Structures are given as C-alpha cells and as structure tokens.
Structure 1
Amino acid sequence: MKHPLAIALAPILATFFASTVWAQEAAYPNKPITVLIGYPPGGSTDLTGRAVADQLAKKLGVPVVVENAGGAGGAIAAMRATRAPADGYTLFVGANNEIAINRLITPATVKYSYQDFTPIGLVASQPMVLVASPSTGIKDAGQFLNAVKARPGGFSYGSSGIGTALHLAGEMVKEQGGLFMTHIPYRGVGPLTTDLLGGTLEYGVFVLSSGLPLIRSGKVVALGVTEKARSPAAPDIPALAENPKLKNMDIGVWFALMAPPRLPAPVLTRLRTALNEILQTPEFRKTLEDAGSTIAPPNVDMPRFLAEETAKYQKVVDFAKIKE
C-alpha cells in the first residue's frame, strides 16, 4: 500500500518533471548539434549536409558539427541516427539510398526503415543521367532504345554499385523500355568513367553533377536525365520521359534532413522552421544549384513522400530481383 505522502506528492512531482522537460525543449538548442553523414567528405551527400549544417548554425545560434561516419552504403550513420537520443542534438542528412533503398536490398543486415526516423524535411534533389560512350555512335534516347532492342543482351550499362539509386535508375529504364541489358557494377564512378571513355562499356548512369563535366567536355554523350522534367542545372539535356516509350521515367537522388524517432514536437517545429528558412536562403540555394541540385519546396509531406518513393523503389527491386 502506498504511503499517503507519496500519493499526495505524485501529481506535484509529475508536474515538476513535465515542466522541466518542457523548459528544456523550449530552450532548444542550447548546446552544439551533430549532423551525421554516411559517406566520406567530398560527395554530393557530404556537400549537401555541410551546406545544411552551415546554415543551421546561423539560424539556431549554436555550433553544428558534421561527422562523416561512412560505411555500408551510408547505413552505419543512418542506424546511429535512429538510435540516438530524441533531443534534437543528433541529426542526419542522408540520400534515398541509405534512408529507403538499402533496406529493400539487404533486409537481413539493414535493420531500420524510413519509418524509424523523424523526418524534418526534404532538402534537394538531383537527377541521374543516362550516358553513352562516344564509341557507340548513339546520340539520343530514341537511338539508344532502337539499338538495344535490336540486340537483346548485346549491350551493358554500368553504375556505381549494386542496389544504388544509379542501379535502380538503369533497371527502371530496362523495365519501361522493355530492354535486355547486362548491369556492370563498379566501385565508384572512377573506374566506370574509365571504361566508358575507353569504349569497353557502352552505357552508364551518373548522378548529374558527376556526369556534367564529362558531358560538357564531349567525353560521353548525354541521352537523358532520369527525373520527369529537365533539370534547371542542364536544361539542354532532355528528360528520358520525353520519349513516349519511357514516359513514366521519374527517379532521382534526393537528400533529406532526418532526426531520431519520437522527436519532441517543440524541437521538431523549431527544426522544420529553420529548414524552411534555409531553403529560401540565396547563399544556400546557390551552393546546391551550382552542384546540380534543385532545391526542394518547403513543407513537403514527408511521410507521404517517403512512402511513395519507397514503393517506387520496391517495384524496381522486384523487377530486377536485386538482392545482396
């Protein structure tokens, strides 16, 4: 039987602890914030994450430190983010690979899903681009489709690895075009580029920012970007969807700011407000647009967006039977 004093004090203590938690959340942030990134410095995710961190520090008035925790295709940092304290002091900037795709490819080892984050907001997106080696003589998507259709299994395309967004984009082209091609996975874009330039590989898929220098210099031929519309960063490159046989092509690389699950509402509101302001900042927009990205609109319905994107990837994974 509980002591009468304990019974009397219970509501007082509950009110005290609740008010203490509320005060801590209302004062957020009052110490440095860490932004986890699942790749080494230098890539598109790292560039996006550092740009977000820089602007968050200005908006929130506290230091924001970037920590690159590479490995397992970004899954190590993502997993850390899902298991961090839900206090707003550990955040994660990731792409669709580590947030949504990895789980579909390696469910035995990737034990989290997009539902295990608190989504703060979409930051930016960037299309991929299907390219041809100049040795093929192929100049556009129509010629590509005709050539591959005429020789089923006679051509290969390369990506930066099995289960990457680049791989899924290539498989989506195959599915929608009714094509039979062999996928060649590479360890990054370096060796992929070497084989394209050397003519030992006919086709490849790049993130637009990686492919543009090669396209502009004439080392590879752009056949089309993978998102539904042309990219503002390269409006002269057609969208693959402009070809009637590929009219449903719509896949890109996107970047999002995420937090651990069960983030308190006041902290989530503070972070979402800051991100929406960041998306309108000229300096931030220029940094990402110069790198080939398109800034996301504010207040994207993230639960719906993530569910729809994951369903899209699941369809491609099932079609291509991609598993590691």
Structure 2
Amino acid sequence: MSTQQSSFEIAGLNWTQIRIPLVLVLLAAIPPLVFHEGATYVSRLFIMALIFATLAMALNIVFGHTDQLFLFMGALTGIGAYTTAITAESLGISPWATLLLGALLAGAIGALVCFVSAKLRFTVILISILTLALQFAIVEFFVGASDLTGGSTGMVFSGLAFESIQESLGIHEHVILYYLVLAILGATIVFYDWMRRSKFGIAFDAIRQDEVAAESVGVNVVRYKTVAGFVSAFIIGLIGPMYAQLEGLIIPGMFQFQVIDVLVLIILIVGGMRTLLGPIVGAGIIIYINEELQAAGQWRMVLFGALLIVLFLYFRQGIVPFARDLLHERIKITERLAREEQT
C-alpha cells in the first residue's frame, strides 16, 4: 500500500474512491451558488469551461495514451453540430433524435483516421499533419457548402432547449445546459477512469511506451488505436451540439483551429496529461485567463503567451501532477518527522 493511500485511510478517506463523486458534486453545486438572474456572462463562462474540459478529456484518451495527436477537434465538433442540426431540420424532428447521429459520424471519421494512421505506421508528427490538413479542409467545406450549412452566415440553433422545464421550474436555460454538459463530462470521466483501469489502459500504456514491443507481446496496435480514435471523436462530436446550443447558432468560425484546437491542447498540457482531473483544472484556468485578457485588446495574445510560458516553466508536467507530487512529498516529510518523534 502506498504512502498516499495509507495517509488518506488514516484520515478516514480513500481519495481514489471518492474523487470522482466529490468533483462532480462540487461542480453540480456551482449553479445554485453562482448563477444569478441576469448574470448570463458568468453562467456562459462556466458552461464553456465544462465544454472545453470534455474536449480536453477526449484528447487525453487519444493523444495522452496512444500518442495520436488530433489537430482537427474543431472540425469534429463542427461535424457533430452540423450533422445534428441539418439532419433534424431535413427530417422535421427534434435535434435530440439526431444527437447521436452526429457523434457517431464524428466517431467514424476519428476511427478511420486512426485506422489508416496505424496501418501505415504514422508517427505522432505525421498524424498531426494529416489531422491539421483535415481541419482546414472540413472548415472550408462548412464555408463552401452554403446551401447546406448556411456558409459564413451560419444557421440558428436552439433545438436542445427544455422550454417546458424552464417554464415550469422558472429557471434559466443556462442552468439546464450546464447540467446537461456536466452529465456528459461526468460520463466521460467515469468511462475514462474505467478504461485506463481495464485491459484498454494496459494496452494503451504499452503502445505509448513502445509499439513494436507491444505488438511482440500480442497487443493489436491497430485495433486499440482505432478504438481510442473512435471514443475520442465520438465524445467530441457529442459535445458539438452543446457548444452550438450555448452560442445559439452554428457558423464555421466557431470551429476554427485557433478557436478550439489550440485552447484544448493548452488546457490538457497545463492541467496534466493522463490525469483524471487535469482537463477540468486546465479548462478552469485557461478559460478564465482567456476571458480576462479580452479587455487587453491587441495585447491579449502577447499577455496570454507570456502567462503560458510561465505555466509551462513552473508546471512542466501539468498542474495536477505537480500538486500530486508536492502532496506526496509533504506526506513523506510528515511521516518521517512522526517517526523521528517516536524514536
């Protein structure tokens, strides 16, 4: 039993067992405490943080564990949003009925990219170049297919609203959307925790450390990389309509590389890759900093870049791993002092 585990057990807690419920309860308590009537800016900021935390968690699976760097998350988010909206409008049904269709299409594209990349033994650099090219091509398709997508003008989207619940309970739509996105994030966290503790986690670690060695012991590298790609892209596609619902419309500019992919990658690195809480912590910090610097105007990107350099220098492995290592060190010091007092 590790030092960390024993210390938590002495305190009457087992962090490994309570961390997911505790984090979700804390996040669920935010709307009653923070969301106030008329404060839509604050509620929008929290919802955006949850959306980007979910996107970072998805990237954590495919990049953090199998070294497949997706640089077309914006395109996958757009595919999920556009597919859900266009299909629902064409069939004259609610977007709730087509929600999974958009996620499945995004998942299929992610799986196909990973399958081809694994078959051809693409390195992480080649995968990033391939997905970046797809990012630009797909966003340009969103702009060019104006008859279908509305082009640069975009299309209005509000089909995931719960008008009956809003009227009966008298609550703002942001509260409902917040809990909806939180439910997706919570399901993603639980699934991710299960996946990394299962045979998938073992296979992913083997692939990340050495693909050749993994194959030599019977790990089907192509299969596991494809699964990782599908799962991550499916989550990204599923969160797309939520992102569109928050904005109230769907336009190609929402899904550009610098709008989604850059932020998600920064969030994951700052929070900590291959960690359960890293995407949440990173999203909270980066989304807050990004919004606060809006008032800086043309100096915004300069200040944002400087702050990122500081974060990367002092938290090279991410904030969550840094805090965990610091806690371990303090526990060791405390136990050593306790043993010295006893002797």
Q: Is the pair's TM-score, using the shorter chain for normalization, greater than 0.5? A: no
- Computing the radius of gyration from Cα coordinates, the structure with the larger value is 1
TM-score range, shorter chain: under 0.3
Q: TM-score, normalised by structure 2?
A: 0.21
* More helix as a share of residues: 2
Q: Which has the higher contact order (CA 8 A, sep 6+)?
A: 2
Whichever structure has more strand as a proportion of its residues is 1
